[in-house]
Copies of this chain bind each other. A is one copy, B any other.
Amino acid sequence: MIEVKEVISEQDLIGALSKIFRPDQMIISKKEVEAHSQTCIPFRKIPDVIIYPTEAKQVQDLVLLANELKVPIWTVSTGKNWGYGEKTATYEGGITLVLERMNRILTVDEELGYAVIEPGVTYKELNDHLKTKGYKLWSDSAGTTQFASVIGNALDKGRGLTPYADHFGHLCGLNVILPNGEVLETGGGPTGNNHVRHLYKWGVGPYADGFFTQSNLGIVVSAGIWLMPAPEHSDCGIFEYKADMSLFGSFIDDFRGLIFSGHMKSFPHLANDFAMLCILDQYPKHLLENGELCLSKEGIAQWRKEHGVAPWSFGFGLYGKKGEVAEQKRMIKKTLGKYGQIHFIGAATENSMKGGLIRKLAPLALKLMGKSQVFAQGYIDALNLFKGIPTDRFARQVYLKAQPEKPVADIDPARDQCGFVWIGPVIPLNAHHSMKALEVAQQLFDKYQFEMFIEYIIESPRSSIFLMGVFFDRNDPLDCERAQKWYREVREVFLALGYPPYRVATHCAEETFDSNPVFKNLIHTIKTAVDPKNILAPGRYGTPPRRKKGTSRE
């Protein structure tokens, strides 16, 4: 089935791996491997074996063995990059390496604001550790599951919501197993003794951390991550866009001004109605017209009305001394008030009598505001995210069509065969490009008959990730094909418009740099030099693919 079998039998491979890993560190039965290889994206390949190392030394030994046997290794941290590729490689067979059991928190430095962690450490573990030990530090969290890997998300350039939302930008100093088995320590200094490798980002010489993001030049086995000193005071709010869409462009321009001026310190996700509704409810089949694959505009308007959802909304955080938070509130109200409603509801997340009272009164307040009761808990989780406290609430949105109800716990949309895929072109954060992206997105959602799911993931005052996604029936090949076609056309159209994606789902990984042949050539040259046997994640992010069976192996 895969080329490695031409050289080494599966039995011999298992035999060789057994010299490094205990039986409980390997999944080898076809049935189990298959069960652990499920995906949400409309694509998957099944490996020969799944390996769970506990120590960097085991990873090192595995890399040396893989070179010897010419077996490829596809590495994930915890594999919770749902909708971007989960654990699947770009090719059949080989070894899938899951680092989730390497989950030690090696250092926390409260004074200088950083931790050193292994790739199995999840948002929940890091946040719990900080809270339990009483550190006055916050870890940013991705909006996805609390069981995602902090390092894995950062290396894939994932985003959070607090002032430390730029996850890759807050990594500093990596330990990396290179394809030749050597352990590289980035951070600009001598091996083994460097007080600043987790403090000073650029090091000396080329900036080496950059080699290992969205890449396959090594396996990161630990990393420094900067943490935010807990501010003296924080609050949070909800904004609901209520103005005519003709004003949306100037709203975006004003929003940008708030970030440039420092009055908006968090990095909100501005979600459209459908994206919000996916969080609150299951798919309203009763609103689907006969024979249609997706809700009509009227259907969505009706559904929106049932829950009191605005056409666009976002949550945000406020941070600083009390007076500074008040000034941020004032400026946000002054700047965005003309476009909609702003509610400051930080008190509701407080662990105080006041907080308890507000939570008790929330149902009544929501009713008065024309909102459904499901809002209440969602608000609190959303607003906790602005303090870096992770949650599984928003990951549950992907169960929209897959099950009659959203699960309460044990979220695993890959296992549960929720079909969905994300694509996030980067756009300039201004009126023109925000409107242009929206217009084109609407056409493509309509063309393939998917409801339009949009989040502007604010990246900086200069750019935004324009996140689009579709939900489909993962077990229906025709529906998978529809999603695949939508994805590819969106990718091509947005590339042609000058909006390249910030991240690539695995089924399109090999095409990543096709539109930039000089860069592709450079990356291929470097990859071939550093990993001459193409052992590490071949085909990941536009690198040379694993050759098909029957052709030369390297």
Contacts and interface: CB of A to CB of B under 8 A. Distances in A.
Interface in A304-327: 320-321, 323-324, 327
Contact of A189 (B193, B202, B495): B495
Contacts of A196: 426-428, 463, 498-500
A344 interface: no
B169 A201 contact: yes
A201 B202 CA distance: 14
A205 B194 contact: no
B200 A462 contact: yes
A498 B178 CA distance: 23
A436 to B, nearest CB: 9
A75 to B, nearest CB: 15
A205 B426 contact: no
Interface stretch (A272-280, A293-301, A513-521): A513-521
A195 B503 CA distance: 16
Contacts of A503: 204
A321 to B, nearest CB: 8
A519 B194 contact: no
Contact of A195 (B217, B428, B530): B428
A184 B498 contact: no
Contact of A204 (B203, B209, B541): B541
Given A194-B500, A323-B327, A168 B530 contact: no
Interface string A254-294: 00100011100000000000000000000000000000000
A433 B202 CA distance: 20
A523 interface: yes
Contact of A114 (B189, B206, B462): B462
B530 A189 contact: no
A517 B462 CA distance: 39
A205 B215 contact: yes
A525 interface: yes
A501 interface: yes
Nearest to A433: B195
A498 B189 contact: yes
A113 B495 CA distance: 23
A461 B114 CA distance: 11
Given A184-B519, A462-B200, A522-B530, A496 B193 contact: yes
Interface of A: 111-114, 157, 168-169, 178, 182-186, 188-191, 193-196, 199-215, 217, 226, 229, 231-232, 253, 256, 260-262, 320-321, 323-324, 327, 426-430, 433, 459-463, 495-504, 512-513, 515-519, 521-523, 525-526, 528-530, 541-542
Given A112-B461, A196-B426, 12 more contacts: A113-B462, A178-B518, A182-B521, A188-B500, A188-B502, A190-B515, A194-B500, A199-B462, A204-B504, A207-B207, A208-B210, A526-B530
14 contacts: A112-B461, A189-B499, A189-B500, A193-B496, A193-B498, A195-B499, A196-B427, A199-B428, A201-B460, A202-B502, A205-B513, A229-B261, A321-B327, A324-B324
